[in-house]
């Protein structure tokens, strides 16, 4: 029987991590865990409760009332309500980047992520998977792409979904989030020493998946 390993994919906002992670998880029959969605749930719950994202104490006090459930079909429930699309709103993206700076928020979610990842056969994407959450992951990927490329991909995605979209605004929002995520004090986004960097700017989805699958095969 082949070994079921743990795979960490980190990288900046809108680098296509979740798309790749989902495809690789499907190929391998692994569980995919979208850790960004968990930070988004905390931000969304703060917004629902009219708590300012910058109010660390206010946000921290909410954690005890937060129950996040992630289903294999990609559905995300927050306290038994389907929040799969609500947590993708722009305001929630920025909120997630802000609340992810708080130590209690990170501890709360990292504990959950480690529990969910127990036993291997998992692929997690986020900002601190290879550096903090799964330091011993057998395969660590640091997925990057130029900011222009990331913004354009997100813009096209929005248009395809029939959402209003402004390329310039998207680029600004992504740049600001990256800046915040890379410069925060606790678990900032950075490449783990033993991570393999993949620049997807000039690669197709299929090429990226093939590259990751090749790296997996070397490790199982
Ligand atoms: O991956 P995403 O864009 O859905 O993540 C939203 C925000 O959550 C991101 O800007 C920073 C934070 N985040 C984090 O701090 N650590 C993670 N492992 C995942 C996301």
The residue whose CA is least distant from atom 9 of ligand 1 is 97
Q: Rounded to an integer, what distance in angstroms lies between the CA atom of residue 109 and that of residue 81?
A: 19
Structural domain boundaries of the chain? 6-201
Tell me: the pLDDT tens digits for 7-35? 999 999 999 999 999 999 999 999 999 99
Q: Evaluate if residue 1 carries a pLDDT over 80.
A: no
Residue 163: pLDDT band (50, 70, 90) is: confident
Percent of the chain with pLDDT over 70: 100
Instruction: Find out whether the beta carbon of 140 lies less than 6 Å from any atom of ligand 1.
Output: no
Residue 161: pLDDT band (50, 70, 90) is: confident
The residue whose CA is least distant from atom 12 of ligand 1 is 97
Q: Evaluate if residue 58 carries a pLDDT over 80.
A: yes
Predicted local distance difference test score (pLDDT) of residue 12: 98
Q: Evaluate if residue 61 carries a pLDDT over 90.
A: yes
Tell me: the pLDDT tens digits for 88-122? 988 999 999 999 999 999 999 999 999 999 999 99
The residue whose CA is least distant from atom 18 of ligand 1 is 126
Average pLDDT, the chain: 96
Instruction: Find out whether the beta carbon of 130 lies less than 6 Å from any atom of ligand 1.
Output: no
Q: Evaluate if residue 170 carries a pLDDT over 80.
A: yes
Q: Evaluate if residue 42 carries a pLDDT over 90.
A: yes
Contact partners, residue 190, CB within 8 Å, separation at least 6: 131, 182
Predicted local distance difference test score (pLDDT) of residue 43: 98
Degrees, nearest 5: CA angle 217-5-202:
55
Instruction: Find out whether the beta carbon of 96 lies less than 6 Å from any atom of ligand 1.
Output: yes
The residue whose CA is least distant from atom 11 of ligand 1 is 97
* Cβ atoms of residues 45 and 62 within 8 Å: yes
- How many angstroms does the Cα of residue 181 sit away from the middle of ligand 1? 8
Instruction: Find out whether the beta carbon of 35 lies less than 6 Å from any atom of ligand 1.
Output: yes
Closest residue by Cα to residue 105 from 153, 40, 29, 160 = 40
Determine the average pLDDT of the residues in 126-134.
Answer: 98
pTM for the full predicted model? 0.97
Instruction: Find out whether the beta carbon of 177 lies less than 6 Å from any atom of ligand 1.
Output: yes
Please check whether the domain covering 6-201 is classified as CATH 1.10.1200.10. Answer: no
Tell me: the pLDDT tens digits for 191-207? 999 999 999 999 999 99
Instruction: Find out whether the beta carbon of 45 lies less than 6 Å from any atom of ligand 1.
Output: no
Predicted local distance difference test score (pLDDT) of residue 171: 97
The residue whose CA is least distant from atom 14 of ligand 1 is 127
Q: Evaluate if residue 148 carries a pLDDT over 80.
A: yes
Predicted local distance difference test score (pLDDT) of residue 76: 98
**Helix/strand/coil percentages in the chain, nearest 5:** 50, 15, 35
């Amino acid at each position: 029987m082949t070994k079921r390993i743990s795979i960490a994919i980190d990288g900046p906002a809108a680098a296509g991590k979740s798309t790749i992670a989902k495809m690789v998880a499907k190929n391998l029959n692994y569980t995919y865990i979208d850790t960004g969605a968990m930070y988004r749930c905390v931000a969304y719950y703060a917004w629902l409760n009219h708590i300012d994202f910058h109010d660390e104490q206010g946000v921290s006090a909410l954690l005890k009332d937060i129950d996040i459930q992630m289903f294999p079909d990609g559905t995300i429930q927050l306290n038994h309500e389907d929040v799969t699309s609500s947590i993708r709103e722009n305001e929630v993206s920025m909120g997630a980047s802000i609340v992810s700076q708080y130590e209690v928020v990170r501890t709360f979610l990292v504990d959950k992520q480690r529990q969910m990842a127990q036993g291997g056969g998992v692929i997690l994407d986020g900002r601190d998977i290879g550096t903090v959450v799964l330091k011993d992951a057998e395969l660590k990927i640091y997925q990057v792409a130029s900011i222009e490329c990331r913004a354009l991909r997100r813009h096209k995605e929005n248009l395809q979904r029939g959402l209003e979209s402004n390329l310039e605004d998207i680029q600004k929002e992504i740049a600001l989030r990256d800046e915040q995520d890379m410069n925060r004090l606790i678990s900032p986004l950075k490449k783990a020493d033993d991570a393999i960097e993949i620049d997807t700017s000039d690669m197709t989805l299929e090429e990226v998946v093939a590259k990751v699958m090749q790296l997996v095969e070397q490790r199982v």
